[in-house]
Chain A
Amino acid sequence: MAVAGMVQPRWKSALYFALFVLPALALYGLFFLYPFAQGIRISFTNWDGLTPRIPISLPKSEFESKILDRLPSESDRSYLLSIYHLDPDDGQYKRYAATGLTRYRLQHLMRVAGYQPDQYRVVGFANYVRIFTGGVEERFYPHMFTQVNYNADSDLPATIPKTDFEKGFLAKLVNPQDRQLALEFYELQNGTYHLKPKYDEFSIEDRIWLLPEVDKQKIVRSEKVDDLLSAVKEAGLKGDTASMNAAVDAFVKSNPLSSASAHQARSAAEQIFRLGSLKRLLAATWVRQRFEMGVVGFTIFFTIFNVLLSNLLGFFLALALDSGIKSQKVLRTIFFLPNVLSMIVVALIWSLVFYNLLPALTGIDKWMGDPDKAPWLIVLVQVWQQAGYLMVIYLAGLSNIPTDVLEAASIDGTSFPARLRYITLPLLVPAFTICLFLSISNSLKSFDLMYAMVGPSGYALGTVPFVMDIFFDAFAKKLAGLATAKAILLFLAIALITGIQLSITKRREVQM
């Protein structure tokens, strides 16, 4: 009975419930449950993101046969006709913007009439099936692709980096003659392979373009030179000497060339023809099989490394600050500062670092533009931004550990690693729980950093996270239904992964 006095009167708790919990629940329903249900509904349609569910204008006959005549109730029909008006100019039924309850009633009427626009149609599980059976873009899934470094239709590259030339090209040539050919064209200068000037296609072509008959006298039309050059190049790629000769013969015969000019044209053509053999070889050999993480892979990659690194860094920063350093407060602020910045500002700062500062310091040109580096750099920036936040949580956790326990242990002679292992870590599990939860869910749904740092080149770099892919599907590809299905799947994945994480770490929490 002693307890009863401490319990609030029943009416009071009912009042609190009505005052605080009910409005919260109502808002939760309005701003989370309802949109979420809408999302699930949309994920089962082929909506393009633009087609209205309630048509704005329909030809008279279609409006009558598909909607009006299918409404059994007279009051519904007259309601519909109060919203729609027949435009005598083009014979279409039209409506103005419908909002609020009007919108709901109209949607209801469309359901009663069984009307579905072509691009807002229920398609069942089609979107989900498409995602799971490899039906969306290849770049969504982890996959292998062939990186072709040179296109045989183009001029030979003026320079090729040493490692690319030696490992990517030369080492793959089994035929000694081919190796000889490659080294005949390219020579090593200052750590880069350069195309020898005499094989520069532009200069060779100039021997034809600058023939007096073409350049000065202009009695040979430029189309003729174009035709000759493209025929010779084509023959060169096929190694077809006969076609090359035929093209040169035709050019010499059909144009009034002096014999010196004819001779020069022929020798230039032969030279261009020779380029073809190396072009063929380079295009076929200088290729690389590469692994591409894809949208799903990159999201997982980003999550794993971001969770690992930002938690480790946050934890060690917290340990260091908790050790009683003098400038603890100042340092805490400094480490937390990146988190106060907006992601867009963070992206801007780091873009400057990667574009201006690092190339100047290291002499390495490409940072964010290099597909091998970009994913790591993005992780780096995210860790830089997030570690300070996690550090604060760990610090709070550390300050909750009673000092008497630690002091008792150190008087007993336990070493620092042992204290860390047997006292600090177990007592810090609640902090780990919350930090892991926050970092995992944030990583899986990250968007702004990649959008700001590599937004429009994300697919070329392979740094498109799941949410950005959803955004692109919905608004650029006009696949709102598919995008929503992806969003629902992402939600389920986050719920599942964080659910498992919570249940594991919660079990390890110890009570003092």
Chain B
Amino acid sequence: MKKLLVFVILALVIIGSASAQKLEMYYYKQEIQAGLKTLTDAFTKDNPGITISLLIIPNDADATMSARAASGSLSEILQMQSYSRIFEYAQKGYLVDLSREPVLAKVIPSALPAVTWKGKQWALPMDFAGIGIIYNKDIFAKYNLKAPTTYRELERVAKTFKDNGVTPFAGLLKENWSIGHFITLVHTNLLAEKGIPVTKFIADMDAGKTSYGVVDTGKLFSIIDFYRANMDDNAEEMSWNEQQAAFAGGKSAMMVQGLWSYGAAIGTNPSLNCGFVPFPVFNDPTMNKFYADVDSTFAISSQASAEKQAAAKKFLAWLARPQAVRIWTRDCKLTSDFKGADLSALQSPFRELMSTVAKSGAYPWAFSMYPTAAFEDGAKNGAQGYVFKKKTAEDVISDIDRIWREARKQ
């Protein structure tokens, strides 16, 4: 009798696990932890046979992911950064080709290059993020200033703040990623000044036919010097937390950041009244655009079994539903890459980003297209080394060229 009972239970367990697919989602955006839980729970409610557990790796996410890839234990659903990250994993065969999935057709066409490698799509673009100047509208109003639209206006704004004892830019030099974003932001702008499309620049760099110094490097480094000179004196000791505190506390009027930092600042000081404008590199306002592109995407591991891949594809398809888009924009507080997505739940700086980009376009995130080492070491460590006076402008350029070459030669 007992034996029979055990057998029945065992059989039930086996049948149960066979019909229910348990997927794991690997993600790095720690700020959307609660939102993702809401999202996956809503999916399971619609698809009772599939459950998705969440695995967060917030820091050095790629280090952990490559280690898991190499040991054959990738999660089924992978949150990945756009461009190079996806291309690297696709090239090694870790990702499922999603080109024929109907959900890809629901994505706005301008988001597709970020996931397209060798003519095929390897991930589903999820959100659009921009880097620019997040500014405190109240401080600007206090000094009767308008948000800068040209470099000269930015210089004027900075001078006014400095003369009045307000730090223009909240500093962040202790961590190298932000200054790394900044050098590539200015560089990408300056490519446009020379009329070089980013994709052509990347291809030429890959082929060893051009140099990072193809732009007006005098301007590139003088803008970095301007940026540094208008930060806190001890910006070298300020990490992201200190930057957020300085900006949220009204000690500084602006920060050059992605909108992901807006959430943190508003969390510290809910009464903060913020605006978001492109960092103006030029004195011609029509040339100044947001540095904005697809940020996060979802990919599916080719290492998962065929059944799990099918379940994961179901999840990606489900994400395009209005209900899912609403959770994504309202709970994860991110923009959406789906055509005709309802963005009314977004906070105002995000809407400013989307409307400005819709009106005047954007510069793509060139850094996402650099080889990983060229961005991580060349641009990030290079720019930080420059502001720490460890490297000269020439060193930074020649190091990026060399690291890029080595990364592509391998």
**How far is it, in angstroms, between the C-alpha of A243 and the C-alpha of B126 when the chains are bound?**
53
Interface-lining segment among A361-369, A391-399, A441-449, A487-495: A361-369
Residue B41 at the chain A interface, CB threshold 8 Å:
no
| Contact call B89/A50, Cβ cutoff below 8 A | yes
| Contact call B304/A96, Cβ cutoff below 8 A | yes
Residue A291 at the chain B interface, CB threshold 8 Å:
no
- By a CB distance below 8 angstroms, the chain B residues around A457 are 173-176, 236, 384, 388
Among A99, A223, A472, the residue within 8 A (CB) of B284 is A223
| Contact call B93/A57, Cβ cutoff below 8 A | yes
Q: Which of B94, B176, B389 has the most CB of A within 10 A?
A: B389
Residue A439 at the chain B interface, CB threshold 8 Å:
no
Residue B329 at the chain A interface, CB threshold 8 Å:
no
Interface-lining segment among A24-32, A179-187, A257-265, A474-482: A474-482
Residue B242 at the chain A interface, CB threshold 8 Å:
yes
- CB B91 to nearest CB in A, in angstroms, measures 9
| Contact call A55/B388, Cβ cutoff below 8 A | no
- CB A177 to nearest CB in B, in angstroms, measures 27
| Contact call B392/A155, Cβ cutoff below 8 A | no
- By a CB distance below 8 angstroms, the chain B residues around A292 are 390
| Contact call A460/B385, Cβ cutoff below 8 A | yes
| Contact call B72/A157, Cβ cutoff below 8 A | no
| Contact call B390/A147, Cβ cutoff below 8 A | yes
Residue B381 at the chain A interface, CB threshold 8 Å:
yes
| Contact call A151/B304, Cβ cutoff below 8 A | no
| Contact call B234/A99, Cβ cutoff below 8 A | no
| Contact call A56/B237, Cβ cutoff below 8 A | no
Residue A103 at the chain B interface, CB threshold 8 Å:
yes
Residue B127 at the chain A interface, CB threshold 8 Å:
no
Among A202, A471, A478, the residue within 8 A (CB) of B407 is A478
Among B67, B302, B410, the residue within 8 A (CB) of A56 is B302
Which chain B residues numbered 390 to 409 have a C-beta less than 8 Å away from chain A? 390, 392-393, 403, 407
Interface-lining segment among B46-54, B331-339, B370-378: B370-378
| Contact call B222/A154, Cβ cutoff below 8 A | yes
Which chain A residues numbered 150 to 164 have a C-beta less than 8 Å away from chain B? 151, 153-155, 157-158
Interface-lining segment among B6-14, B225-233, B254-262: B225-233
| Contact call B237/A355, Cβ cutoff below 8 A | yes
- By a CB distance below 8 angstroms, the chain A residues around B63 are 471, 474-476
**How far is it, in angstroms, between the C-alpha of A368 and the C-alpha of B410 when the chains are bound?**
37
When each residue 413-437 of chain A gets 1 if its CB lies under 8 Å from chain B and 0 otherwise, what string results?
Answer: 0000000000000000000000000
- By a CB distance below 8 angstroms, the chain A residues around B156 are 202
Which chain A residues numbered 49 to 93 have a C-beta less than 8 Å away from chain B? 49-52, 55-57, 89-90
| Contact call B377/A477, Cβ cutoff below 8 A | yes
Residue B150 at the chain A interface, CB threshold 8 Å:
yes
Residue A305 at the chain B interface, CB threshold 8 Å:
no
Among B69, B225, B284, the residue within 8 A (CB) of A155 is B225
- By a CB distance below 8 angstroms, the chain A residues around B381 are 459-460
- Name the CB-closest residue of B to A102: B72
When each residue 348-380 of chain A gets 1 if its CB lies under 8 Å from chain B and 0 otherwise, what string results?
Answer: 000000110001000001111111000000000
| Contact call B226/A475, Cβ cutoff below 8 A | no
Residue A461 at the chain B interface, CB threshold 8 Å:
yes
Residue A456 at the chain B interface, CB threshold 8 Å:
yes
| Contact call B88/A369, Cβ cutoff below 8 A | no
- By a CB distance below 8 angstroms, the chain A residues around B88 are 50
Residue A4 at the chain B interface, CB threshold 8 Å:
no
- Name the CB-closest residue of B to A371: B388
**How far is it, in angstroms, between the C-alpha of A201 and the C-alpha of B130 when the chains are bound?**
32
- Name the CB-closest residue of A to B178: A456
- By a CB distance below 8 angstroms, the chain B residues around A471 are 63
When each residue 87-121 of chain A gets 1 if its CB lies under 8 Å from chain B and 0 otherwise, what string results?
Answer: 00110001011110001000000000000000100
Residue B73 at the chain A interface, CB threshold 8 Å:
yes
| Contact call A51/B175, Cβ cutoff below 8 A | no
Cβ contacts A to B, 26 pairs, < 8 Å: A50-B70, A50-B89, A50-B94, A56-B93, A56-B94, A90-B97, A96-B305, A97-B73, A97-B305, A99-B73, A103-B72, A153-B222, A154-B226, A155-B226, A155-B229, A157-B229, A355-B234, A366-B236, A369-B236, A371-B390, A456-B177, A459-B381, A474-B63, A475-B66, A476-B376, A477-B373
> Lowest 6 CB-CB distances: which A-B pairs, in order?
A369-B236, A56-B93, A475-B63, A154-B225, A97-B303, A153-B218
Chain B residues proximal to chain A, CB less than 8 Å: 60, 62-63, 66-67, 69-70, 72-74, 88-89, 92-94, 97, 100, 150, 152, 155-156, 159, 173-177, 217-219, 221-222, 225-226, 229, 233-237, 239, 242, 283-284, 302-306, 372-373, 376-377, 381, 384-385, 387-390, 392-393, 403, 407, 410
Chain A residues proximal to chain B, CB less than 8 Å: 46, 48-52, 55-57, 89-90, 94, 96-99, 103, 119, 137, 145-149, 151, 153-155, 157-158, 202, 209, 222-223, 225-226, 292, 354-355, 359, 365-371, 454-457, 459-462, 471-472, 474-479
